[in-house]
Amino acid sequence: MIGKDVTLLGVSVTYSNGFTAVHPTDLLVRAGEFFSILGPSGCGKTTILRAVSGFVTPAAGQIKIGGQDMAGLPPNQRPTALIFQNLALFPLMSVRDNVAFGLEARGVSRRVRQRRADALLDLVALGDQADKLPGALSGGQRQRVAIARALAVEPAVLLLDEPLSALDLKLRQHMRAELRSLQKQTGVTFIYITHDQSEALTMSDRIAVMNGGKIEQVGTGDDIYSNPASAFVASFVGEVNTLPGRIIRQEGALAQVETSLGPIIARNPQNMPLGGSCVVFVRPESVQLQPQMPTNRFQVVLERRDLEGAFVTLRLLAGQGRQPIIAHLPNTGPTHASTSLTSAGFDPQAALVLPQGTLAHTGREDMPR
């Protein structure tokens, strides 16, 4: 199996009710890449996959796979295989027949396709389940049947629509590793959809972050996590502290921002102009207690300590305005007595100035303080 590249040129999708689910989008997925599309529910991820696999026709733009224009090709003639959000295994066929179905559709003889199906079931460690019906399998096993079924047609591009969302955490982590190694083994291009940021970060070569029908940033996991291009990306991928403010000085790659905690120095990768209102983003793991350096330092009150296991989450209230700040620190034992007054701060290199923009809902903001 050989992966092919996928190119989207100005692709937009409008549904029949007039709703534009995907705004004009350019995207290049390289051959043999594990590429994730990450975004909140309803942002248009499934719609993009359905456009690539041929179930919806773009209102504008061009989709190319391996350099070949896909316009007018129905799903059964594209070199893609889609793994549906709900798997869509054929309930009345045995697991083996499920896997062999794509070959059956291609007119492969019964003996050959069954041999091929058995080989694929061995690959996903289900060789002994071939005669069962899908309904008799566990969630993780069904998942693997869906993968084997999709791989059976030797697709150049495998499209996966949140395939792990129905599984419990342990199984999900296990399947992540399996998917990743399967991708490496087969060399097929994977386009993987998820709204789980840690899933995208652990598995992908590159990630596209989507919001409201637009791709906001494409890059490696490190890129996206450490150098988010927008307020949305910064707040959707991982946790983040936000400090709104105004730029009062520029010092090369850095900017000084007036915030409720006083002047804060942070990186300014987008070269935001002097006087512009902006937001400073700092990851909780970059916040230190009683820091050495004099810059970006402020008084805090410890409001609450949540034990997470390997690390602790400290909820701090900073400065006069009691600005909430979250810090993740390595768990060094039951220290940090509550309400103790101390100082906190962060390295200017760990903070980022970005234009104001919509923030992602992480579900954390509603937690009782």
Ligand X SMILES: Nc1ncnc2c1ncn2[C@@H]1O[C@H](COP(=O)(O)OP(=O)(O)OP(=O)(O)O)[C@@H](O)[C@H]1O
Indicate which single residue of 3, 44, 58, 102 sits in contact with other proteins (rule: CB under 8 A): 102
Task: Report the nearest approach of ligand X to the CB of residue 324 (Å).
Answer: 29
Q: What is the smallest separation between the CB atom of 10 and other proteins, expressed in angstroms?
A: 25
* Distance separating alpha carbons of residues 121 and 5, to the nearest angstrom: 27
Q: Which stretch binds ligand X (CB under 6 A): 13-21, 26-34, 149-157, 228-236?
A: 13-21
| Residues 351/299, Cβ–Cβ less than 8 Å | no
User: Per CB under 6 A, which region of 12-20, 102-110, 223-231, 321-329 contacts ligand X?
Assistant: 12-20
142 interface partner picked from ligand X, Mg ion, other proteins, none, CB below 5 to 8 A per type: none
Among the listed residues 53, 129, 143, 217, the single contact to other proteins using CB under 8 A? 53
**How far apart are the C-alpha atoms of 2 and 292, rounded to whole Å?**
53
Q: What is the bridge-based pairing of β-strands 241-251 and 254-259? A: antiparallel
For the segment 41-80, give every residue that binds ligand X (CB under 6 A): 41-47
Residue 88 touching other proteins (CB under 8 A) = yes
139 in contact with other proteins (CB under 8 A)? no
At 363, the amino acid letter reads G
Q: For residues 20 and 131, what is the distance between their CA atoms, to the nearest angstrom? A: 44
Show the 3-state SS of 307-334.
ECCCEEEEEEEECCCCEEEEEEEECCCC
What is the rounded distance in angstroms from the CA atom of residue 259 to the CA atom of residue 279?
A: 9
Spatial separation of the C-alpha atoms in residues 33 and 205, rounded to whole Å: 6
The residues near 130 (Cβ < 8 Å, ≥ 6 apart) are: 94, 95, 96, 117, 118, 121
**In whole angstroms, how close is the CB of 158 to ligand X at the nearest point?**
17
The residue at minimum Cβ distance from ligand X is 46
| From candidates 76, 185, 340, 343, binder to other proteins by CB under 8 A | 76
Give the C-alpha separation, 297 to 300, whole Å: 10
Pairing label, strands 189-194, 157-161: parallel
String marking each residue 159-188 x if it binds Mg ion according to CB under 5 A: ------------------------------
Mark the segment that binds ligand X (CB under 6 A) among 14-22, 133-141, 232-240, 332-340.
14-22
Work out whether the CA dihedral 58, 62, 67, 70 comes out positive or negative: positive
Q: Would you count residue 47 as binding Mg ion (CB under 5 A)?
A: no
The first and second tokens of residue 369, run together, are 């303080």
Stretch touching other proteins by CB under 8 A, among 1-9, 81-89, 214-222, 224-232: 81-89
What pairs with residue 192 in β-bridges? 36, 160
Taking the complex as a whole, how short is the minimal distance between the CB of residue 60 and ligand X, in angstroms? 16
Structure tokens at 313: 């989450």
Tell me the site size for Mg ion, rule CB under 5 A.
1
Nearer to Mg ion, 46 or 183 (CB): 46
* Binding flags for ligand X, 168-197, as an x/- string (CB under 6 A): ---------------------------x--
Is 46 an interacting residue with respect to Mg ion (CB under 5 A)? yes
CA distances from 257 to 115, 229, 242, 302 (A): 66, 18, 12, 24
Would you tell me which residues interact with other proteins (CB under 8 A)?
A: 53, 55, 74-77, 80-82, 84, 86, 88-93, 101-102, 104-106, 149-150, 152-153
Residues that bind ligand X in the complex, under the rule CB under 6 A: 15, 17, 19, 21, 39, 41-47, 195
